[in-house]
Amino acid sequence: MTEPIFMGRSLSCHFRGVAALTELNFKIYPGEKVGLIGASGAGKSTLLSLLNGQQQPTQGELLIWGEAIATLSPKGRRRIQRQLGTIYQQLHLVESLAVIHNVNAGHLGRWSFLQAMFSLIFPQERPLAEAVLKQVGIPEKLFAKTSDLSGGQKQRVALARVLVQNPAVILADEPISSLDPQLSREMMDLLVQLCETQGKTLVVSLHSLEFARSHCDRLIGLKGGKILFDQPTTTVSEAQINHLYGEQSIY
């Protein structure tokens, strides 16, 4: 049987005594496209920050490829994190730099400090940067100033940066929050296509229930920091959705 990439065991996370996540138990397997859904403040972004190792659980255990990430050395944690690519809601792009430099940030986990500094003067790995920008549909923006791009183009640069990293897992935190419906569909189509053709696992938090249903094969519904349901997308009922976003309980 295939081993899970992520396994949460009674996973809880508190901030200044306030519970952001409580007693989560789940497994995420290779090749899955998992949507995290729920109202604002439900804990979706916190869960993603645990999955990429930025946050550590207050209680419980998170295993990534069978290793408890909280107990790993800094070197061991970096080894795991190199296989986890994150698209942040705020994108974390350096607006004053050319696109190629933001794309090349995907190399930082394996480049030395000197190589990274040298690349700011003489951009390294240009053929790879060109290739991933072509994959996301904006090859002509290689040397454009990032601040001059549209919101949708910036989202594509953030995705290209992750593709340069070439992780096994893509973690995306509201990747379409600032896009119009057409660009949202294009971005979600692109994410799913790249994961399916390259054999990557996708975990994505979404406010849009429509895109969660159309692009994810499994949904984890979070409410008040707890998992309300975790099941195949096609089996999630309207009653469950109404409970997730409303006050009426069906349990």
> How long, in residues, is the chain?
251
Which top CATH class is 1-72+203-251?
Answer: alpha beta
pLDDT digits (tens, 9 = 90+) for 159-178: 899 888 899 999 999 988 87
Please identify which residue in the block is written with the tokens 């975990």: 203
Per-residue b or e along 130-141, where b marks 16 or more CB atoms closer than 10 Å to that residue's CB? eebbebbebeeb
User: Mean pLDDT over residues 23-40, rounded?
Assistant: 96
Residue 8 has pLDDT above 80, yes or no: yes
Contact 2, 29 (CB under 8 A): yes
pLDDT digits (tens, 9 = 90+) for 220-235: 999 999 999 999 999 9
Tell me what the pLDDT averaged over the chain comes to. 90
Contact 133, 126 (CB under 8 A): no
Nearest Cα neighbor of 64 from 48, 75, 53, 55 is 53
Contact 2, 21 (CB under 8 A): no
Per-residue pLDDT, 200:
94
What count of Cα atoms within 13 Å lies in the side-chain half-sphere of residue 75? 0
Cα(177)–Cα(6) distance, integer angstroms: 25
Cα(86)–Cα(172) distance, integer angstroms: 6
Nearest Cα neighbor of 226 from 20, 7, 63, 9 is 20
Per-residue pLDDT, 113:
73
